[in-house]
Structure 1
C-alpha cells in the first residue's frame, strides 16, 4: 500500500500508581505494521509485569510466524499466577497490517473501533476457542482514511462512579470518535483528544489504567533534508538535483550546503530577520526550498525539542509555537511520514574536537540522534551519505 500507516498510542496510569498496567508494542517494517496492546490483571507493578510479558511474547511469536494457538498457549503457560485470585491473566489485542490487508486478534479487551473513511463499520469477527479462551479473529482491507482504534477497559469505564455513573460506555466512545475523526487526521491528534477526554471524565484521577492505540491510513507526507556538503566537490550538482527532484518538502541545513544549493540553482540566499533568537541562528530563504537553516546548532536544538516532545508525549503542537529555525524544522519533520536525509560527509574543521577520532564528526552524530528520535515516532527514515 502506497499510503502511510500512521500510529500513535497513549496511556494514563491508574491514580496513585507509578506504573501502567497496560502495555503497548509496535513493530514496523517495510510494508508491515503490528500493534499489540495488553491489559494486565489489576493495576500497578503486577499488572505491568503481566501486560509487558504478554505484549513481548505475542508480538515476537506472531512476528516470527507462530500459529495463534501456540501463542495463546505460551502466554497462558508463561504468565505468573496471581496469588490473590489464583489466575494468570492478561487480555490482549493485536492488529497486523501487511500491504492493505488487516488482521485483527482480540482477547477479552473492548472491541476495536473501525471507521471506513470516517464512518463506523462493524467488523465481522470469527470466534476461535483455544483451551478455555475465546479469541476473536477478523481480516479485512484497509483504504485511505480508514481508522482502527484499540482501547483498554479504562477508556470505556472513564467517569464511572463520578461524572458518568456507568462509565463512558463503548457506544458513547464510538460516537465521540466519529466526531473527532471529522476534525483530526493525524493519529497523534486523535489519540491525544481521546486520552485527554478520558482524563477529564476521570477528573484527573483515573480509576483504571487507560490506553488507546490509534491507527490511521493517511497520505504519505515526504520531506527531504540536505545536511552539509558532499565529500567530493564534483558531487555538489548531483546532490542538489536529487534534492530538487524529491517529492514533498525540501530542507537545507548548513551554511555551506545553502551556498552550494544557491550556486547550483542560481538563486540567492536571503537571511530572514523576521524572528531573532540569541541561541539559534536565523533561518533563510532560497527560492524552491521550503526551509534553510544553519547546521549543527540548529540541528542540536531540534534534537532537544524532539526529546521534550517525546518525553512529554505531547501531540499538541501549540506549545511548540515559536518561529525560530529549530522549531520550524521540528514542525516540518514532525509533520512528515517519510524523511530522506542527504548527508554530506565533508568535515568542517570548526566543529571538531581534537580529542575525538576524526570519524566522530559532530554533525553526523547529531543527525544520527535525530534519525533515532524520528524512528521512535514511527517515521519512515532513509539516509544517504555523500
Structure 2
C-alpha cells in the first residue's frame, strides 16, 4: 500500500532575538520525503546560521544517497566555529520515509522522537552509531497510514523551566499530551498548533529558548486527475479522455467544451445544474464516473484566489476548508478536493485556445489557462502536494 507523508512545522523564537536558532528543511522527492530539524548552538543569528547550514547540507546529501557518516563528517568540516565557545555545533534529527512506508531516523542530541500509532506512543528500537566521536541514534521502522511522528527541539521539553514548571515540561509529559490529542482525533497540523501554543503559555509568552515542533502525518496516497481544456490537436481528444477515465482515484473536468468532449468520447451525458450557489461562479455539472465537472477559467481563477488567500493567511490544516466545504459552488468544491482529499494531483492541460477567453469581463490574467494551472500547482506544492502537469 502506498502512503504519503504530510509535514507541518511551527516555531517560537527566543525572547529578545530576531531570528530563530532552530531550522527545518523538508524535501519532497518522487518516492518519499526527507525532513531535517536542527538546533544551532546558542541563539539568535549565530544559531540560525548553524542550524540553516545543517538542514541544507543534511537534506541535500541524504537526498543524494550519502551515508550518515558522510553527512556528519561534512557538517563538522563545514559549520563555522563559534568564537566564544570554540565549537561548531548543531543538533539534528533527520527523518526519511518512502512511499512504501520504509522509514529511518537519525538523531544527534535532540529530544527523542515521539511516534504515535492508534492513540499510543510507541517505543521505537534503535542502535547507536559512533561517527567522529559523536553518538548518533539510528531508528528503522515501518510506517502505516494514520501514524503520527513528532520531532521537537529542546525548547519544547524545557518549556516553563524556572517559571510555571520548575524543571520544564519534560519529554514524558509532552508525549502524553500529544497522545491525548491523538485520542481526541486531532489532525497532525492541529496537534502541532496546540503543542506550540501550550509551549508559549508555559513560557508566559516570553520563550526562554528557541522552540520548534515538526509533525508528520501518514495517510494513504490519493490521486486526483484534472482535465483542463481541449487538446490543441483534435485527434488527441480520445487519447486524453482515455487517460482521464483510466486514471486511478478521483477525476475532475474543468471547462464546458472539455466536458462535451468527454461526453462525446465516452457516450455519457453531461447534466448541468442550473442552481447558482454563487452568482459570480458558473454552476457545476455532472458526468457519470466523473467526481466533479466545472466551468473552466472563471472557476479555476476563483479556486486559485481561495487557495492563495489561505496560504498567505493561515497555518496549514487538512480541514482548513471546513467553512468552504459547506459551499456548493464549483471553485470551493474544487479547492476542497485538491487540498483535503488528495496527495497527488495530475493536471492534463489542453492547449487549444478558446476565443471566448479573450473576454474583457474575465479576471485579469484569466485568458492564460496554463499560467493559472501553473500558479495553482505552485500553491498546492506549498501545501505539501505532489503535482504533475501534462500538456496536450
Is TM more than 0.5 here? yes
User: In the TM superposition, what whole-angstrom CA distance separates every residue of 1:149-189 from its partner, at most 9, and x where no partner exists?
Assistant: 11111222233344434332211111122222234475434
* 1:51 alignment partner in structure 2: 51
Cα offset, 1:332, TM superposition: 1.2
Q: 1:172 to 1:292 in 2, by over 3 A?
A: same
Number of equivalenced pairs: 379
Instruction: Using the TM superposition, give the Cα deviation of residue 318 of structure 1 relative to its aligned residue in structure 2, in angstroms.
Output: 4.8
- d(CA) in 2 for partners of 1:237 and 1:81? 63
Are residues 225 and 205 of structure 1, via their aligned partners in 2, closer, same or farther at CA, if it must alter by over 3 Å? Answer: farther
1:123 — aligned with what?
124
Question: Which residue number in structure 2 is paired with residue 224 of structure 1?
Answer: 225
Give the superposition deviation at 1:252: 1.8
**5 Å matches for 1:245-260?**
245-260=246-261
What SS does the corresponding residue of 1:333 show, helix, strand or coil? helix
Superposition map of 1:1-386 within 5 A: 2-98=2-98, 99-184=100-185, 186-263=187-264, 264-273=266-275, 275-278=277-280, 280-316=281-317, 317-318=319-320, 321-322=323-324, 323=327, 324-335=329-340, 336-351=342-357, 362-386=368-392
- Structure 1: stretches of 5+ with no match in the other structure: 354-359
Structure 1 pair 249–205 and aligned structure 2 pair: CA distance change class (3 A): farther
2-structure distance, mates of 1:294, 1:203? 51
8 Å CA contact 2:275, 2:283 repeated in 1 = yes
8 Å Cα contact 1:13/1:19 also seen in 2: yes
What does the per-residue CA deviation read over 1:178-227, in whole Å, with 9 as the maximum and x for residues that have no partner? 22223447543443333333334444443332222222321122222111
**Change beyond 3 A, Cα 1:309–1:48:** farther
CA contact (8 A) 1:6 1:186 kept: no
- Separation in structure 2 between the aligned mates of residue 191 and residue 139 of structure 1, nearest angstrom: 23
TM-score with structure 1 length normalisation? 0.87
Unaligned runs of 5+ in 2: 360-365
Q: How far apart, CA to CA, are the structure 2 residues paired with 1:312 and 1:103?
A: 33
1:313 Cα deviation from its structure 2 partner = 4.9
Q: Distance in 1 between matches of 2:198 and 2:336?
A: 25
Shift of 1:238: 4.0
Map of 2:362 onto structure 1: none
Is the CA contact 2:5–2:32 (under 8 Å) kept in the aligned structure 1? no
The alignment's C-alpha RMSD in Å is 2.7
Query: 2:276–2:282: 8 Å Cα contact kept in structure 1?
Result: no
The verdict on how the C-alpha distance between 1:67 and 1:287 changes in structure 2, with shifts beyond 3 A counting, is closer
Per the TM alignment, residue 108 of structure 1 is displaced from its structure 2 partner at its CA by 0.8
What is the TM-score when the length of structure 2 is the normalising length? 0.86
Distance 2:142 2:40 in 1: 30
